[in-house]
Amino acid sequence: MPDAERTLPETVRAAPASAQWQARLSLGFMHDGPRTTLTRRAHEGPLVVQRPLYPEGERVCQCIIVHPPGGIAGGDELRLDVDVGPDAHAQLTTPGAAKWYRSLGNRALSRASFRIASRAILEWLPQGTIVFNGALADAEYRVDCASDAAFFGWDVVCLGRTAAAERFAQGQWRQRFEIWRDGVLIWNERAILEADAGVLASPVGLNDCAVFGTFVTMSSAVDTVVDRAALDACRALMPTQGDVTVTRLPSILVARYRGDSSEAAHAYFVALWSLIRPLVTGRAAVPPRIWRT
């Protein structure tokens, strides 16, 4: 690893001395010859990134985002800001599922802002979210990209700790996901899930399932490389448990999962990503090693 990268300056400020964490992580990636380099890394509070990895060679810079407290409590605010410069290719993942704890009244917030420049690629591949019974949580994503950029992203949400037979009987989960291309909003999704709302049990909602997820690929290449045969191949993929659907929109491919297994949802999205990524980027999908630890 070059000395300049080992000594990358890092801006750190102490977290506030309170029971509520206010954390922010800002990352910048630039294309330098054949290499994508992490050129900016600044954090405030307990949200950090491990050193850059290159499991696919120099072209793709992989970073693992870590939240040392291990969970998000009422009143916590986590903010992630990522800039991917022209021609750069960044891949972000996490070491495990994010946990949203029961709240005593304060809401918790996680907000991610991604900016993707011309011909750049960003992959946001977290390992999932567990929403504890009684949580009051807001998760927000905003993607701003150039018309010739590409984005891959997913999220798998589990309402309640199903491994401990816990149901999501109290609380609220709010989610917002926007994609803007050249300043125009092309994807806009809102979800407000109350623990006692009928949509959790309704067949047109979650149908009493504890796990749901969304996979999104955004690229102008979707309109050409995801032809009928590729779309049929995507729809032929099936999880080991749960229901799925795949929809192709202008420049966007969307897949959804509904079931009772976070593991099945994650494996399904990985299989879909493995099929779509080579079509859009020309690169085979290489799963991050952290997923196997």
pLDDT tens digits for 114-168?
A: 999 999 999 999 999 999 999 999 999 999 999 999 999 999 999 999 888 889 9
Q: What distance, in Å, lies between the first and last C-alpha atoms of the chain?
A: 24
Q: Which residues pair with 38 in a beta bridge?
A: 29
Provide the pLDDT confidence category of residue 3 given band limits of 50, 70 and 90: very low
pTM over 0.85: yes
Provide the pLDDT confidence category of residue 19 given band limits of 50, 70 and 90: low
pLDDT digits (tens, 9 = 90+) for 223-241: 999 999 999 999 999 999 9
Evaluate whether residue 94 is within a structural domain: yes
State percent of the chain over pLDDT 70. Answer: 94
What pLDDT does 1 receive?
A: 35
pLDDT of 85 > 70? The answer is yes
Evaluate whether residue 258 is within a structural domain: yes
Provide the pLDDT confidence category of residue 68 given band limits of 50, 70 and 90: confident
268: containing domain: 71-282
pLDDT of 18 > 90? The answer is no
pLDDT of 5 > 60? The answer is no
Give the integer Cα–Cα distance in Å for 284 and 276.
9
Q: Name the average pLDDT for the chain.
A: 91
pLDDT of 12 > 50? The answer is no
Evaluate whether residue 157 is within a structural domain: yes
Evaluate whether residue 132 is within a structural domain: yes
Sequence-ordered strand ranges (E) for the chain: 11-13, 22-32, 35-44, 48-49, 61-66, 77-84, 89-93, 98-100, 108-116, 121-125, 129-131, 136-145, 150-159, 172-181, 184-194, 211-219, 243-249, 252-259
Evaluate whether residue 23 is within a structural domain: no
Provide the 8-state DSSP code for 18.
S
pLDDT of 63 > 90? The answer is yes
In this structure, of 2-16, 83-97, 206-220, 239-253, the range with the lowest mean pLDDT score is: 2-16
Evaluate whether residue 215 is within a structural domain: yes
Give the total number of structural domains in the chain: 1
Evaluate whether residue 275 is within a structural domain: yes
Mean pLDDT in residue range 194-204: 90
Higher-confidence position of 138 and 9 = 138
Place of tokens 């029971």: 19
pLDDT of 262 > 70? The answer is yes
For residues 185 and 216, the answer to whether their CB atoms sit within 8 Å is no
Evaluate whether residue 181 is within a structural domain: yes
